[in-house]
Amino acid sequence: MSKSLIVSGMRSTGKLHFGHYLGVLTNWINLQKDYDCYYFVADWHALTTKFDKTDELRADVENVVLDWVASGINPEKSTIYLQSLVPEIAQLHVYLSMVTPQNWVERDPTLKDMVKILRGDSETEEKPSNICSYGLIGYPVLMTADILTMNADYVPVGSDQLAHLEISRDIARRFNNIYGVELFKEPKPKLTEVPLFKGVDGQKMGKSFHNDIKISDTEEDTSKRIMSGITDRSRMRKTDIGHPDECEVIFDYYKVFAPEKIETVAQECKSATRGCADCKRELCGIVNEYFKEIREKRLELQSKPNLVREIILDGSDRARQRAKEVLKQVKDAVKMYY
Ligand code: TRP
Ligand code: SF4
């Protein structure tokens, strides 16, 4: 029996941080064992909000793929590709956009949030420069095209993407109904509910908040960030007893990176035998050790000229083979067969 097919993508945001690694990549890596995985960089989706900031686009794409491969996405097992190198996705997007009622996209709550951020109405996100484009309104339809071009069984996503995926299922069903075919599967979410990984300041980790630690950061930068992390705010000196439960970031990082140490840390913190600076310093070593191999592998991959590019081109070729077959069936269903 052939394996079920998985599609998932990330926008080309550039170098990835620990939140991406722990929240998304570890999951993607595990899925490679049991599924036929298609992972792509969504550079068209990046244009929905950054159409006028494309100078770094190419470097951003390559940095994302470098982080993936260094972290353990295996380009021989999984198909790693670039959205814009699979033009069938754009073609399918046209067909799907014709059968998608306007109000389906207009009531997508995730899209509404994105529009709010773009208009600058959001209090938490960085103020952007763009207004909402026609392309942005089509975001969930383009995402549906990504998924249906591969006719995927499952889509691993975080809960923020569920609303989009709901639309994808509706569009798949509607296409099948309208054209009287059983072409598209209704893609099922594979929810990955990982607790949010915070930045060193206790906020959500993100590039725009300047609180992130990147997979590709040096050990020195990593340590600097960790040393600036917030701890138990009520604790002024080492002789004050600490409250690990109120130590938002550092203790949480211990939970993730050194769960075997948390009992000791908590006990020493509460009895004032562990100072925050020492606690952080120890954590720096732990975290740097955790990412050591990945970082070494990343440097090695990066040092080989053209390697990332070849991975992207080769995977995109493979993705296209499947996409072409699906698109032929789509055109047949729509009776566009010249
Ligand atoms: N919208 C997704 C995100 O922001 C990225 C994405 C684009 C995606 N197309 C997709 C995810 C298709 C899964 C499947 O995270
Ligand atoms: Fe947090 Fe460690 Fe300081 Fe306790 S000793 S408050 S766990 S940084």
- Let me know: does 12 contact 47? Beta carbons within 8 Å: no
Nearest to 225 by CA among 246, 202, 242: 202
Task: For residue range 185-212, list pLDDT tens digits in order.
Answer: 999 999 877 777 899 998 888 887 889 9
How far is 95 from 172, CA to CA, in rounded Å? 11
Kindly state whether residues 98 and 161 are assigned to the same domain.
Answer: yes
How far is 308 from 159, CA to CA, in rounded Å? 30
Residue 219 pLDDT greater than 90, yes or no = yes
Kindly state whether residues 187 and 325 are assigned to the same domain.
Answer: yes
How far is 1 from 49, CA to CA, in rounded Å? 41
Is residue 182 assigned to a domain? yes
Residue 290: φ, ψ to 5°: -55, -40
Domain that holds residue 149: 5-197+305-334
Is residue 29 assigned to a domain? yes
Is residue 206 assigned to a domain? no
Question: Residue 123: what pLDDT?
Answer: 66
Calculate the dihedral angle through the C-alpha atoms of 302, 306, 312, 315, rounding to the nearest 10 degrees: -110
How far is 96 from 119, CA to CA, in rounded Å? 27
Which residue lies with its CA nearest to atom 13 of ligand 1? Answer: 8
Q: What Rg value do the Cα atoms of the chain yield, rounded?
A: 22
Residue type, 269: C
Question: Residue 196: what pLDDT?
Answer: 79
pLDDT band at 70 (very low <50, low <70, confident <90, very high): very high
Is residue 80 assigned to a domain? yes
Question: Residue 235: what pLDDT?
Answer: 80
Is residue 252 assigned to a domain? yes
Could you tell me the CATH number of the domain that includes residue 316?
Answer: 3.40.50.620
Calculate the dihedral angle through the C-alpha atoms of 55, 217, 82, 92, rounding to the nearest 10 degrees: -90
Is residue 117 assigned to a domain? yes
Q: Which two tokens stand for residue 7?
A: 């599609």
Task: For residue range 108-159, list pLDDT tens digits in order.
Answer: 998 998 888 877 776 666 656 667 889 999 999 999 999 999 999 999 998 8
Kindly state whether residues 225 and 167 are assigned to the same domain.
Answer: no
Is residue 208 assigned to a domain? no
Kindly state whether residues 17 and 145 are assigned to the same domain.
Answer: yes
- What does pTM read for this prediction? 0.94
Report helix, strand or coil for 188: strand
Kindly state whether residues 272 and 127 are assigned to the same domain.
Answer: no
Kindly state whether residues 151 and 17 are assigned to the same domain.
Answer: yes
- Let me know: does 142 contact 45? Beta carbons within 8 Å: yes
Kindly state whether residues 122 and 228 are assigned to the same domain.
Answer: no
Kindly state whether residues 250 and 277 are assigned to the same domain.
Answer: yes
Kindly state whether residues 220 and 309 are assigned to the same domain.
Answer: no
CB atoms within 10 A of CB 136: 20
Q: From the CB of 138, is ligand 2 less than 6 Å away?
A: no
Is residue 205 assigned to a domain? no
Find the residues whose C-beta lies inside 6 A of ligand 1: 7-11, 42, 45, 143, 146-147, 155, 157, 161
Task: For residue range 220-248, list pLDDT tens digits in order.
Answer: 999 999 999 988 778 878 888 889 988 88
Edge to edge, the sheet with strand 188-191 lists: 79-82, 36-42, 5-11, 154-157, 188-191
Question: Residue 125: what pLDDT?
Answer: 63
Could you tell me the CATH number of the domain that includes residue 232?
Answer: 1.10.240.10
pLDDT band at 288 (very low <50, low <70, confident <90, very high): very high
Kindly state whether residues 61 and 167 are assigned to the same domain.
Answer: yes
Kindly state whether residues 17 and 160 are assigned to the same domain.
Answer: yes
Domain count, the chain: 2
Kindly state whether residues 123 and 264 are assigned to the same domain.
Answer: no
Q: From the CB of 274, is ligand 2 less than 6 Å away?
A: yes
